[in-house]
Structure 1
Amino acid sequence: MREVQLPDGRVVVHGHWGRPVLVFPSEQGSATDAESNGLVGAVGDLLSAGRVKLYCVDSFDGASWAASHLPLEERARAHERYESWIVGTVAPFISGDCGGETEIATAGCSMGAYHALNLALRHAQTFVLALCFSGNYDTASWRGWGARGMAEYFNNPVSYVPNLHGEHLDWLRSRLSVLLVCGQGQWEDTTGALESTKWMAALLRDKGIRCELDLWGHDVPHDWPSWRAQWTHHLPRFC
């Protein structure tokens, strides 16, 4: 593990070689959450074998989507500043660290799943695979208030995906693959993750974007032990 301080933020890197995966924490989490909650240790064999490199970033949710005192549109604009940092600073660092331009996967749990999907949909030129665990992909459902504007619309997958069309949609179909995973146990309903995951899968499939939906059992809650098991099950398939 090594921690790299970049302008305006840090990246914690695990692994020495392999497919790069940009890992987002859950809501208001940090770049160390993947390690402290067992995701890194759960795929230690993949890291040792040089099959995958994990690039973990801090969240910006406290100043954006989780800032409930702000109207939804202002939160969306704050989120766009975070996305600009990811695209303009973190992605080039990952490419350089991997020896040149490379296609990056994204991954995340809970709100991190939203970040993983939204980033890949908006920037598939760089991020070609999104691994999403127990996400809620409707920003308007996040205790939002105030008028919804263009920033919120273009960062709300359940709003903009139905309107994808033409050459851009054809390009996305050729570039992007999505995995949506969710349990059906405790808190998957109250967080909105279960219904949102099924809804998102239907929207992507309707647009012909490659999407795999994997629903786990009613004994699988919205929590880190579930995500560790799901992560361990799926990640080896993609690296």
Structure 2
Amino acid sequence: MREVSLPDGRVLVHGHWGRPVLLFPTEQGNAHDAESNGLVGAVGGLLSAGRVKLYCVDSFDGASWSAGHLPVEERARQHERYEGWIVGTVAPFIADDCGGGPVEIITAGCSLGAYHALNIALRHADIFVLAMCFSGNYDTTSWRGWGERGMSTYFNNPVSYVPNLHGEHLDWLRSRLSVLLVCGQGRWEDTTGALESTKWMAALLKDKGIKVELDLWGHDVPHDWPSWRAQLAHHLPRFC
């Protein structure tokens, strides 16, 4: 593992070669969470074999979506600062670290990290061509938000903007992006809104002709790290 300090943040790099995966932490998590909660170990064989490199980043949720004292539109604007860092600093670093030149990056995340993985891929499919999303809630307006909802909220709320995708941009997304939505049906998947939101998001993407795969695990699979370890280990080998 390498820890790399970048302007305004850090990235932890796991692996020496292979398909780059940008892994977002859970809500208000940090770059060490994937390792400390077993996600890195779950795909250790892929890392050792040089099939994948994991790039783990810190969250910015405490100043954006989790900042309950801020109106939702301001949270969305703060989130856009984080997205700007990912697109403008982290993605170029990943490209350079993978040998330079264009590189197609996978995004992945669990819980709120799943939202980040999907939203940034939908908004920047020129960089991110596959989003692997585990137990996400993709409706930002359901996160105890208050205040007026403006353009920043709309354009960072997938369940709002996906139904209105059309024309050449939609055609381009159809040709470019793939989405994997995974969710258990056990404890906390209902109370977090993840199960219903995952099914809703899959239906919206399917309706628009965007490549999406929905994988619902059993009623004994909760919204928790053991589930996400198993799900990541099950799916990631197909893509690297």
TM bracket, shorter-chain basis? over 0.9
Match of 2:175 in 1: 174
Letter in 2 for 1:152: T
Q: CA deviation at 1:30?
A: 0.3
Match of 1:185 in 2: 186
Q: CA deviation at 1:171?
A: 0.1
Q: CA deviation at 1:55?
A: 0.2
Match of 1:195 in 2: 196
Q: Give ranges in structure 2 of 5+ residues lacking alignment.
A: none
Q: CA deviation at 1:162?
A: 0.1
The 2-side partners of 1:42 and 1:85 are apart by: 28
Letter in 1 for 2:150: G
Structure 1 runs of 4+ with >4 Å offset? none
Q: CA deviation at 1:39?
A: 0.5
Cα deviations by residue, 1:54-78 (Å, 9 ceiling, x for unpaired): 0000000000000000000000000
Match of 1:152 in 2: 153
Match of 1:126 in 2: 127
DSSP 3-state at the match of 1:94: helix
DSSP 3-state at the match of 2:122: helix
Match of 2:115 in 1: 114
Aligned residues, how many? 239
Q: Give ranges in structure 1 of 5+ residues lacking alignment.
A: none
Match of 1:77 in 2: 77
Q: CA deviation at 1:223?
A: 0.3
DSSP 3-state at the match of 2:107: strand
Match of 1:16 in 2: 16
The 2-side partners of 1:233 and 1:105 are apart by: 16
Letter in 2 for 1:64: S
Letter in 2 for 1:11: V
DSSP 3-state at the match of 1:132: strand
The 2-side partners of 1:130 and 1:221 are apart by: 21
The 1-side partners of 2:14 and 2:230 are apart by: 19
DSSP 3-state at the match of 2:12: strand
Letter in 2 for 1:166: G
Percent of aligned pairs with the same amino acid: 87
Letter in 2 for 1:236: P
Cα deviations by residue, 1:92-113 (Å, 9 ceiling, x for unpaired): 0000000122010000000000
- Counterpart mapping for 1:1-239 below 5 A: 1-100=1-100, 101-239=102-240
What TM-score comes out, normalization by structure 2 length?
Answer: 0.99
Q: CA deviation at 1:208?
A: 0.2
The 2-side partners of 1:182 and 1:61 are apart by: 22
Cα deviations by residue, 1:152-186 (Å, 9 ceiling, x for unpaired): 00000000000000000000000000000000000
Q: Over aligned residue pairs, what C-alpha RMSD do you find? A: 0.3
The 1-side partners of 2:233 and 2:19 are apart by: 15
Letter in 1 for 2:64: S
